[in-house]
Amino acid sequence: MATDPHIRHVEAMIGYTFKATHYLTQALTAAAVDENNYDGNRGMAQLGESLIGTAIIDNAVTAGATRGDCWSKE
């Protein structure tokens, strides 16, 4: 389970201080660590994956990238 030092380290790395650190704690805690919540952070992981995909697409559109630019294997 993520502890306060973990939270502070992540905040320092990304340059942002979270108001609701319990969400970050949940996001940093692996599934199955809490025996009462086997799925753990699955919902947070799915949300994060969607948000990252959206951010990548937004950046690509803003930069004028084509679909080929976004999905090239190089």
Q: What is the pLDDT along the chain (74 residues), one digit of tens a residue?
A: 778 888 888 889 888 898 988 888 877 777 677 777 777 777 777 887 888 888 888 888 888 887 777 665 55
Q: Are 17 and 28 in contact (CB under 8 A)?
A: no
Cα 70-53-47 angle, rounded to 5 deg:
170
Contact 32, 40 (CB under 8 A): yes
